[in-house]
């Protein structure tokens, strides 16, 4: 008998989200209105009252609008760790700017700030550190570098909603912080994202640009009006969040602490378990402060693909987060990034979501143990 599939990731949604959707459907207006306005208020209260929160339709559009709001475009360069979802690179190139692929720290997957500094040119306008696997180890160093070279910092925090940085919620500090609420993130809106900043001007630009550049359209919609006689002075996009999405997000935000506890428990369990195996290395991440979106194991000595297919045969899904962007045709570089390339050969993502049971986690760990024993037997 084959065991049930253990999924790599999934959303925890149900009756509460259905009820929230029904509330919007009852009103009969599904676009951007009161639910989005309220979700933005609730996110502001959650993250920090001195922050501006602008909700959009994806994490990718949050990054795109944030980059554009910094005045970045054709001829400019943005430093990005090469190991990230292609969304970070596409968001920058969507502005016309060039994403500059940088090395990562193999212990954390975070951008290698010394490598990034070497790639600074007169065209460099920003750095986009990615909270890879929800960690942000060298973020302070990123801000030091940014200050030294007068760069904007656009944090790709798609993985890290709900975590703490310097005793404050992720998003409470920093220049611009972008979240994703896609279908499998720490909270979901179905799809969705948010730009968070303390800078009013940046927030204002993002607000207008999410609605095709129609000036002050957000304020109009939030007061139940439409913009008929308006002006547009900058390129905009159709990137706003809908009330349907926001209603799911509001429900998920209320359930976040429940999800976070479970995600942290599972990650701590994996971390502890993997200490038994010298060939299997975890990232240096503190799950007391971080809410993990994905859990990475680095499989040393060339065993990654073998472990991956062994787990697949046990009906356990795994992932490869992520292929380095400088190896993709569109973002190919004429330089190598050997640390990232080596890391990519070792990366394996284990199942992690709030609906995994203790038995599921046990099954994953037991499968890994059996694979290690088989490897040892074959080597003997």
Ligand X SMILES: Cc1ncc(COP(=O)(O)O)c(C=O)c1O
Binding positions for ligand X, rule: CB under 6 A: 58-60, 84-85, 87-88, 130, 156, 158-159, 180, 182, 193
> For residues 112 and 130, what is the distance between their CA atoms, to the nearest angstrom?
11
Structural tokens at position 100: 């500059």
> At closest approach, how far in Å is the CB of 223 from ligand X?
28
> For residues 8 and 353, what is the distance between their CA atoms, to the nearest angstrom?
7
> For residues 195 and 252, what is the distance between their CA atoms, to the nearest angstrom?
18
Burial 2-37 (b: 16+ CB within 10 A, else e): eeeebbbbbbebeeebeebbeebeeeeeeebbbbbb
* Rg value, the chain, Cα: 21
> At closest approach, how far in Å is the CB of 70 from ligand X?
17
Q: Which is nearer to ligand X, 109 or 236 (CB)?
A: 109
> At closest approach, how far in Å is the CB of 61 from ligand X?
7
> At closest approach, how far in Å is the CB of 293 from ligand X?
8
Residue nearest ligand X, Cβ-based: 59
User: In this structure, how many other beta carbons lie within 10 angstroms of the beta carbon of residue 258?
Assistant: 11
Angle in degrees, CA 136, 9, 357, rounded to 5 = 105
105 with 298: CB under 8 angstroms? no
Q: Which is nearer to ligand X, 60 or 218 (CB)?
A: 60
215 with 230: CB under 8 angstroms? yes
Q: Which is nearer to ligand X, 157 or 367 (CB)?
A: 157
Which residue in this structure is represented by tokens 């090395």? 103
198 with 52: CB under 8 angstroms? yes
User: In this structure, how many other beta carbons lie within 10 angstroms of the beta carbon of residue 325?
Assistant: 24
Q: Which member of 166, 168, 185, 205 is catalytic? A: 185
Q: Which is nearer to ligand X, 81 or 236 (CB)?
A: 81
> For residues 313 and 75, what is the distance between their CA atoms, to the nearest angstrom?
48
> At closest approach, how far in Å is the CB of 320 from ligand X?
13
Q: Which is nearer to ligand X, 51 or 159 (CB)?
A: 159
275 part of the active site: no
Angle in degrees, CA 155, 161, 163, rounded to 5 = 100
> At closest approach, how far in Å is the CB of 265 from ligand X?
22
Bridge pairing between strands 295-299 and 124-127: unpaired
Residue 173 DSSP symbol: S
User: Which spans in 224-313 are helix H?
Assistant: 243-274, 304-313
> At closest approach, how far in Å is the CB of 85 from ligand X?
4
Q: Which is nearer to ligand X, 159 or 221 (CB)?
A: 159
Q: Which is nearer to ligand X, 89 or 371 (CB)?
A: 89
> For residues 215 and 195, what is the distance between their CA atoms, to the nearest angstrom?
18
Question: Which residues participate in catalysis according to the annotation?
Answer: 185
């Amino acid at each position: 008998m084959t065991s049930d599939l253990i999924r790599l990731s999934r959303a925890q949604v149900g009756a509460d989200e259905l009820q929230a959707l029904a509330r919007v459907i009852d009103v009969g207006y599904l676009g951007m209105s009161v639910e989005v306005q309220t979700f933005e208020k609730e996110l502001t209260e959650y993250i920090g009252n001195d922050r501006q929160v602008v909700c959009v339709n994806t994490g990718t559009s949050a990054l795109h609008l944030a980059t554009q709001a910094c005045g970045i475009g054709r001829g400019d360069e943005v430093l990005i760790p090469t190991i990230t979802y292609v969304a970070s690179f596409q968001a920058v190139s969507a502005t016309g700017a060039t994403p500059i692929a940088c090395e990562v720290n193999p212990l954390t997957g975070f951008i290698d700030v010394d490598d990034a500094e070497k790639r600074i040119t007169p065209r460099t306008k920003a750095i986009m550190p990615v909270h890879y696997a929800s960690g942000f180890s060298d973020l302070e160093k990123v801000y030091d570098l940014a200050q030294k070279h007068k760069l904007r910092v656009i944090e790709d925090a798609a993985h890290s909603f709900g975590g703490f940085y310097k005793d404050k919620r992720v998003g409470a500090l920093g220049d611009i912080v972008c979240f994703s609420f896609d279908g499998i993130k720490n909270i979901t809106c179905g799809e969705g994202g948010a730009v968070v900043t303390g800078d009013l001007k940046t927030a204002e630009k993002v607000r207008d640009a999410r609605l095709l550049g129609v000036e002050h359209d957000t304020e109009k919609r939030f007061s139940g009006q439409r913009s008929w006689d308006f002006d547009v002075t900058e390129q905009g996009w159709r990137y706003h969040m809908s009330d349907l999405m926001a209603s799911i997000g509001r429900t998920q935000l209320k359930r976040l602490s429940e999800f976070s506890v479970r995600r942290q428990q599972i990650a701590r369990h994996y971390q502890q378990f993997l200490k038994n195996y010298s060939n299997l290395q975890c990232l240096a991440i503190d799950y007391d402060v971080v809410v993990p979106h994905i859990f990475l194991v680095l499989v040393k000595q060339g065993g990654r693909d073998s472990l991956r297919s062994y787990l697949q045969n046990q009906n356990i899904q795994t992932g490869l987060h992520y292929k380095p962007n400088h190896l993709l045709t569109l973002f190919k570089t004429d330089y190598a990034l050997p640390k990232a390339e080596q890391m990519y050969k070792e990366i394996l993502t284990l199942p992690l979501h709030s609906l995994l049971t203790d038995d599921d986690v046990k099954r994953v760990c037991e499968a890994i143990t059996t694979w290690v024993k088989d490897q040892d037997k074959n080597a003997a």
